[in-house]
Structure 1
């Protein structure tokens, strides 16, 4: 066990005060009965559920509804492929949070240097600011369907989001969040009322296919689905929230269960939205003519009665509220970590002014932008999700390297299987971005060429991932510095030392090369994404 821990805010040490229970600081008692394990799980529940359901936000409603209205259920398979991506990425950050006590942005600064640290924080700040704007777009669309005035509704929603975090009581915030989490299940009765064909839904969920249509737009939507389901802000949020909840390595297995519950909820909601949107518009003139989530609520009301339309509008507002809370918090946590500010929901606003200033400032700015007439809100929503998908590979690369850094994680570094899965995930995400670039440059590219590129690129990515893991395994076998084998008790007690005590990270030539490739990829992919979005705007 390390004598000192790298905790940056003293409020991050103490009792775990969850929405459904408390675990005393220093509790090392074994949980032998099912009742004891259940009580512990209930106390730990929160980070995984909030981060997952928070990502089924207003942007997700728009993206999933667009997939269903424009292409039926033919893109459901993308959600099945994203399940391991969700788990692998979020399991790594929850492990980083529990073991290090340091937020994701600060670790990138400390281990990769100022360039990548500044890039990650600026990228997070800008993308999160745009994402929060989409949350207020969702709130305004939901209010409009319910017949409530937009301006006071948006202002009251912004004040409610600020108030939720501003009490200085972590448990109170988490309880409010959990109410919003379980309200996301309102999508299930809509699915039951619309009753799309279950056989077709199940088939399209497991069988990959590309629908008919303009390929560049289909690829843009697929990347948007990836970006809205696995967004970069999730990595920063969950790592910091696990720290703020005071979860230690001893409770990692319970936090993994919490994460799986969150993944189940997010996939249920996403499948339901694509499926009932597909069935709702099938055979109607509106099929293939998506406008926004408000039009989906209106169509539900016209064809299936007022109830499903109201449920959809309420679910949209609910998703937007929890999304705005989580995304704003991820930014405030990151800025607090990097700028050495007090940053905890256990602190009242007067005791953490900078932290709450970032949180409330982003919300106020986003709400104001939505109320400005003439802002292209629909296009902004799709652009945000696509940008998130393009930027995700870089976030995954940082995450992968950090989780193999023994100075940071000690006995908690990645297993070879996790490294292999993550390498495959990164390769797949980069491949999607490459196809997007090709589709923008060559808009008339045949569908078979895209399919062949996916297959060939997938095989190459798998081979590269296997080769990299074999090389790492050989390097570990030849290394003179083999890690000590710890008992479970010692492993659970291990925490990262203070940042000043860590040896500097020395990137190998191979990793340095890959980081250079990553810079070039980001530049090209971002330029192509901006170009494609501009084309759509002009059209």
Structure 2
């Protein structure tokens, strides 16, 4: 079998047991450097070879957990909180750009870097928190997918949750075909969601002058306690911990060169990829909020927060049954996409923190079960009536874990001994640490408010 030089077998990897520790294991080995970069091609063709990982990451920024906060914000306050959605997306673009940088510069994902740097007790604690965060993320995604299946086909909620376990087989099949197939599926579903809400916006007929004005910060967001609470919820639901781990791994699927110039180009193209994908995620989240504002807030229904309630109200308030159907189709696409990427993130976290190498089928089943078992238990306990509480619970758990992913990310992005000349520019570090402090403060405030009732 012919092997490219950049994919030569690692001696440490070859010596390791297939079921034992993998000291220098590659992140997502099925994907690692599997996409060839055309050396002699022009700038645009080389850029296109890097397009894809950003869309895997962008999925986490439009999952069902984001839908709940966008619906609540749009129905209660109209277009005012669009500025918070914009700020959240700008923060996400910066953090994901830093993820791409450290993944490409070091050849390690965030979980592997934590295992390299921190003592074993700290590493195990970070692994446990990351697994809990992925379970919480998957909980919202599984519930969202199950709700969509219930709305579209009448499938019971618990059965819908169990059906989503089949995504593990879908990932195995797509990865066997190549990472580009997986990226194409995810990107295609994202554009389907975008198209559904594009049609919704035409039917909703929003006040576009008010929409544009909504992207400008308003003092009422700070002075009005209820607006501030929902704004914190939007911020807290935007940056997902598993996305930080996932992005540092998936950028290594490109076979860029090992030299400094090649890595700088890879960082630049990967940043363009993730920023463009997150712009699309911003448009989707904005469309959800704008639809809620134009339909529910303008119609006097200012307390719509549950997905099922929004679905039931869309048809009578918009005037066409297709509006509710498109809403459910978009929700299903978002939920399926998010569960796929959460499963990949579970693999990154388990292999990166623990250094274990498992057969592909076993690894998929383990990472899927780690997330789906808690979702099945909680769904069985709460049922349909508890879905809103489940979404809130998932966001609170993410609030607890987020600092333990963002702070290590910033530590590694600032580490000149590891990144060398590829260390993040000073302006990115300053903005990154400021963003970290804002996210941590906002999430702690949200957590305190929830605990305090």
Query: What TM-score comes out, normalization by structure 1 length?
Result: 0.71
**Structure 1 residue aligned with 2:133, among 127, 152, 177?**
127
Is 2:9 the counterpart of 1:9? no
Aligned residues between the structures: 421
- 1:372 counterpart SS class: helix
Q: Distance in 2 between matches of 1:14 and 1:269?
A: 28
Deviation at 1:120, TM superposition (A): 2.2
Structure 2 counterparts to residues 355-504 of structure 1, below 5 A: 355-366=363-374, 368-369=376-377, 371-375=379-383, 376-389=386-399, 391-433=401-443, 436=445
Alignment of 1:142-161 (within 5 A): 142-150=148-156, 151-159=158-166, 161=167
Against the structure 1 CA distance between its residues 196 and 101, is the aligned structure 2 distance closer, same or farther, given a 3 Å change threshold? same
- Inter-CA distance 11–73: structure 2 relative to 1 (3 Å threshold): closer
**Any conservation in 2 of the 1:96–1:239 contact (CA below 8 Å)?**
yes
Q: How many Å apart are 1:165 and its aligned residue?
A: 1.3
Change (3 A) 1:390 1:341: closer
Shift of the 245–373 alpha-carbon distance from structure 1 to 2, 3 Å rule, reads: farther
Query: Closer, same or farther in 2 for the Cα pair 1:116/1:187, shift >3 Å?
Result: farther
Is 308-317 or 394-403 further displaced after alignment? 394-403
1:165 match: 171
Does residue 266 of structure 2 align to residue 251 of structure 1? yes
Structure 1 residues 100 and 290, CA gap change in structure 2 (3 angstroms): same
Q: Deviation at 1:15?
A: 8.0
1:427-451 Cα offsets, whole Å, 9 max, x none, are 32244356x27xxxxxxxxxxxxxx
Structure 2 contact 62–284 (Cα < 8 Å) conserved:
yes
Give 3-state SS (helix, strand or coil) of 1:206's partner.
coil
Contact residue 89 and residue 238 of structure 2 kept, 8 A: no
Which residue in 2 is equivalent to 1:235? 244
1:219-230 to 2 correspondence within 5 Å? 219-230=228-239
Normalising to structure 2: TM-score of the pair?
Answer: 0.84
Coordinate RMSD, CA, aligned: 2.9
Q: Give yes or no for the alignment of 1:23 onto 2:36.
A: yes
CA contact (8 A) 1:164 1:173 kept: no
List runs of 5+ in structure 2 lacking aligned partners: 1-5, 13-22, 258-262
Q: Does 1:140 align with 2:163?
A: no
Q: Give the superposition deviation at 1:324.
A: 1.2
1:462-505 CA deviation, whole Å, 9 max, x = no partner?
xxxxxxxxxxxxxxxxxxxxxxxxxxxxxxxxxxxxxxxxxxxx
CA contact (8 A) 2:148 2:331 kept: yes
Q: Distance in 1 between matches of 2:346 and 2:78?
A: 35
Note the C-alpha offset of 1:297.
Answer: 1.8
Contact residue 231 and residue 389 of structure 1 kept, 8 A = no
Task: Check conservation: 1:75, 1:209, Cα contact below 8 A.
Answer: no
Q: CA deviation at 1:130?
A: 1.8
Q: Which runs of 5+ in 1 are unaligned?
A: 344-350, 438-525
Match of 2:355 in 1: 340
Query: Retained in 2: the 8 A contact 1:132–1:362?
Result: no
- Paired residues of 2:33 and 2:253 also in contact (CA < 8 A): no
- Whether the aligned pair in 2 keeps the contact of 1:162 and 1:360 (CA below 8 Å) is yes
**In structure 1, what is the Cα distance between the partners aligned to 2:371 and 2:191?**
23
Q: Segments of 4+ in structure 1 off by > 6 A?
A: 2-6
Q: Could you list the per-position Cα deviations for residues 190-225 of structure 1 after superposition, in whole angstroms to 9, with x for gaps in the alignment? A: 11211211111111112233359972x544422221
Q: Give, in whole Å, the separation in 1 of the partners of 2:128 and 2:269.
A: 33
CA distance in 2, matches of 1:239, 1:10: 9
Q: Which has the larger radius of gyration?
A: 1
